[in-house]
Amino acid sequence: MTQVRFELNDSPVTARDEGQSLLQYLRGTACLNGAKNGCGTGQCGACTVLLDGRPVRSCVTPLARVEGKAVLTIEGLKGPDGGLHPIQKAFLDVGAVQCGFCTPGMVLATKALLDRVPDPTEEQICQALAANYCRCTGYVKIIEAVRLAAARLRGEEPGADWARTKERTTLIGAEGEKQPAPGRVLGHALWDVDGPAKADGSLQYCNDMTRPDMLFGAFVWAPAPAGRLRALELDHARTMPGVFDILTGERVPGDNHLGTFEREQPVFCTERFAFLGDMLALVLADTEDHARAAAKAVQVEWDQVPGVYTIRQGLEEGAILAQNGRTVGDLDQARTRSAASVGANYRLERVEHGCLEPECALACYEQGLLTVYATTQSPFEIRRMLAAILALPEEQVRVVGTQLGGAFGSKCDAHVEAAAAVACAVTGRPVKVALDRRESLLLSTKRHAFETSYRVDVDSEGHILGLDAQLCSDAGPYDNLSTGVLMQACIFAGGPYQIPNLRVEGKAVRTNNVLGGAFRGFGINQGAICIETMLDEAARKLGMDPFEIRRRNALRPGASTVGGEVLRHSVGLLETIDACERLTKQALEEYRPRYPQGSKVLGVGVASGFKNVGVGKGVPDDGGCILTICEDGRLRMQVSGIDMGQGFRTAMLQLCAEATGFDPDQIDVFCGDTSATLPHGQAVSERQTLNSGRAVVEAAARLKEVCEKDPWQPGQRRSAQYRFVAPPTYKLEDERARREEGENYRNYPAYAYTTQAALVEVDKATGQVRVLKVIAAHDVGRAINPHIIEGQIQGSCSMGIGYALQEQFPSEKGVPLKLRYDQLGLPRAGETPDYEIALVEDPEPLGPFGVKGISEVATVPMTPAVLNAIYDAVGVRIRTLPATPQRILEALAQQEKTEEAVCNERLF
């Protein structure tokens, strides 16, 4: 063991070198948690610090390497006044901070660049950020923040809008071009309420938390995707350094099964295991390193059993988890009237969420309750699950959803909370269980792989006559929301269009692959790819403009969805089509003269989409708020919900300020704690702004009534609360409700609508595709915070582009082939297109001030818009995602043999 002497944030340090990395020293010894452990293998950039002014990935930098050098972490970065540095302020001013997990690394990488290059080009900015991933923002605002910070550090004093070179936003009222007036607080770009803490690295995420006398847990994982467990040899592991205990299924106090809704997955497998993410045991030790070493030493005796590894095999063997669908009208008659028929089969690869923060849970006893701090979107569902597992009443269990470093649906399922809770209950000690990146990739859910068969018939005027669609998903072995995803995929299978004759059939098959689950769009995306490319193909057969065919079929008030719901309010789809068409034609005037450039050609594609606001499908949509004027005059807001970087807390703050008249800086926001908030459903499905936001506004009205009757005085408290429950919704298969409820039948509380276009460059020689510009028109109901909305649209579009071109999580025989962060195909800063955004305000009556959700819908049309643009550029349809250069070149080579035709083969 040697000593390492270096300078840490301008102070001399002498550290013992025990073979650890710089990140391990910073987080474990120096207690500087601003540098995050996102991957542990030097690929994500969340752990970036400066070493003699140069950015390094501290997770792969040996502590010995810093001998005699100067280390700067985010905690050491200060402005001239000792507060936030100009770079940090620039990130906040332009809205470049969402979940915040990547922000410290981004800020330090920016500092290293601007110290060298005071006036960088966009190319230099992207090169400087090439080693730093952001999954939330789509990078647009990060690039702008760097430009703004550079100008300010040069002594200039530009406002935040000066940096907007890659985006332009237009606000459109429900009556067309009339621009709505902002409210007192609504419509203004306030800083993220937690932005300063995210920017300076002081915000605590779950793995930043510690407790005295805490144990660390590490899993013994299934050795293969499918097998029968004979025995675990634990004796040697028990004797290893630091080991306190090893837990197996027999030690679980109650039901040995986890799951937010359907509890199917064993907490610890005792007989069989069904995928590589199954957990066999949990080793508890005094350090994480000791726990992991002992877990690796456990010997597993097992027998191999046959597995199911493809959708086709699952269908053939009858491994059906769920099925759903609906038939309306007469498809045969529709086909006889058809002027154009288009059909095809699609294979859509599963996709990893890529959250920078891996899953983590810390369980301990606090205030007499078994308390679990966890990276979850589902605190009340997890509490209900833990009560069954621990054999305790729910009121004896508390769950706190910590600040999330990204989620996108992956953290609404149960992962490590049960193991941590069981360990705490059994040992009486605080226990933390944190996954590394490889473990997270194996255990966490993915966007479902789908295989589909689609056929669409249209008449000579472009009206859709009939849709025949089959959709089949790979659920993995357990129902982690796969049943709900399938139902939603069926409801949205026809896109945002009126279709009089249809047959939609869906099945989800059980396999021994990684788990499918919730992911931004929740099953809508897969169907949108099919219907939107089919509609584009039909328009070309008819010689019709792609905007016009969408306009003629668009849902509008009084129209029925595929699910049979009659729409009545806030249906802004036509306005989004009109706005997107106008902006796209303007953009083409700029881009068309530039092409062709040698083998590079220009293409433009368009797609529309809509998405539910609220879980619906028979699940109650709710939200609650407790408002209290405290003794010092500050307003305490306890609001149901979880902030995962989408700006929930900021949006609730603005709604509360608008409704109460309090200034935002007088309001304290609390959320995510089952002991402090009213019960609510998962933080999913764009539901929180509508449901919890409505509760905030209603609670504000009641607080005003309380204060009118009994005015507040200093030293006193006044309080009011409200729990909002949206009107009932019904499952797709509920024909009785459809008959009895009539126009009151609905699948969801509300919907968000969008039309998006992509301008792409395709190199016919290499197959490479570059998205140049995105035009996105969205019906948002009412805009709360433009920066939040823009960031959500850009981040969602980035995911949609990645889904189209490069993201995939393939496996062979249940074994994933890509288990490193840099292998996932996530977009980087240098792949950021320009954006033209139009926000249509068509108020939603259920929503607070007419507001509705926006956090997911932009993913829906983005992928098919890119695919349609590829066809426009080079004349080939890509039906197997992602549309890699190799697939495009192969399609070009086969172009003459694959003329457009009805070529779909039914799946089942």
Mean pLDDT, rounded, for 235-248: 98
**Residue 905: its pLDDT value, please?**
84
Number of neighbours of residue 557 by Cβ within 10 angstroms: 10
Residues 328-367: pLDDT tens digits?
999 999 999 999 999 999 999 999 999 999 999 999 999 9
Instruction: Report the share of the chain in percent with pLDDT over 90.
Output: 94
Mean pLDDT of 264-276: 97
Per-residue pLDDT of 481-511, as tens digits, reads 999 999 999 999 999 999 999 999 999 999 9
**Whole-number pLDDT of residue 184:** 87
The string of pLDDT tens digits covering residues 139-158 is: 999 999 999 999 999 999 99
Whole-number pLDDT of residue 74: 98
Using 50, 70 and 90 to split pLDDT, how confident is the model at 178?
A: low
Q: Which of 12-26, 158-172, 626-640, 696-710 has the lowest mean pLDDT?
A: 158-172
User: In the predicted model, is pLDDT for residue 896 greater than 70?
Assistant: no
When pLDDT is cut at 50, 70 and 90, the band that residue 175 belongs to is low
Predicted local distance difference test score (pLDDT) of residue 177: 56
Residues 546-581 pLDDT 10s: 999 999 999 999 999 999 999 999 999 999 999 999
What is the model's pLDDT at position 902? 60
Beta strands 600-613 and 48-51, pairing class? unpaired
| Buried residues in 211-243 as b, exposed as e (16+ CB within 10 A) | beebbbbbbbbbbbbbbebeebebeebeebebb
Judged by phi (left if over 0) then psi (alpha if -120 to 50, else beta), residue 881 lies in beta
CB atoms within 10 A of CB 583: 20
Partners of 326 in the beta sheet?
504
* Residue 22 CA: distances (Å) to CA of 67, 73, 256, 643: 11, 11, 39, 30
Cross-strand partners of 469: 454, 504
For residue 641, give every residue at least 6 positions away whose Cβ sits within 8 Å of its Cβ, in sequence order, or none: 623, 648, 652, 671, 672, 677, 680, 683, 688, 692
Q: Is the pLDDT of residue 172 over 90?
A: no
Six token digits for residue 454:
């689609």
Q: Tens digit of pLDDT for each residue in 214-226?
A: 999 999 999 999 9
For residue 614, give the amino acid letter: G
Query: Parallel, antiparallel, or unpaired for β 667-670 and 635-639?
Result: parallel
| Residues 38 and 101: beta-carbon distance below 8 Å | yes
Residue 212 pLDDT > 80 = yes
Q: Would the pLDDT of 180 be above 90?
A: no
Distance between CA atoms of residues 843 and 572, nearest Å: 9
What pLDDT, on a 0 to 100 scale, did the predictor assign at position 863?
98
The pTM of the whole model exceeds 0.85: yes
pLDDT in tens, 810-854: 999 999 999 999 999 999 999 999 999 999 999 999 999 999 988
79 versus 897: which is more confidently predicted? Answer: 79
pLDDT value, residue 160: 86
Share of the chain above pLDDT 70, in %: 98
- Return the pLDDT at 181: 66
Of 206, 765, 137, 690, the residue nearest 433 (C-alpha) = 206
Sheet holding 600-613, edge to edge: 167-173, 834-841, 769-779, 750-763, 600-613
At residue 866, the pLDDT reads 98
**Mean pLDDT computed over every residue of the chain:** 96
pLDDT on residue 100: 97
Query: How far apart are alpha carbons 350 and 444 in whole angstroms?
Result: 12
Position 720 confidence tier, pLDDT thresholds 50, 70, 90:
very high
Pairing state of beta strands 769-779 and 48-51? unpaired
Length of the chain in terms of residues written: 908
Q: What are phi and psi of 219, to 5 degrees?
A: -90, 150
Q: What is the model's pLDDT at position 854?
A: 87
393: preceding bond cis by omega (within 30 degrees): no
pLDDT of residue 166: 83
Do residues 642 and 376 touch, judged by C-beta distance below 8 A? yes
What is the per-residue pLDDT for 381?
97
The pLDDT, as a whole number, for residue 696 is: 97
Residue 847 is predicted with a pLDDT of 95
Q: Is 795 helix (H, G, I), strand (E, B) or coil?
A: helix
Q: What is the pLDDT of residues 428-450, one digit of tens each?
A: 999 999 999 999 999 999 999 99
Region 25-34 average pLDDT? 97
582-632 pLDDT, tens digit per residue, is: 999 999 999 999 999 999 999 999 999 999 999 999 999 999 999 999 999
Whole-number pLDDT of residue 165 = 83
Q: What integer is the mean pLDDT of 513-536? A: 97
Residue 168 pLDDT > 90? no
Confidence check: pLDDT of 254 > 80: yes
Pick the closest to residue 466 from 609, 327, 323, 324 (CA basis).
Answer: 327
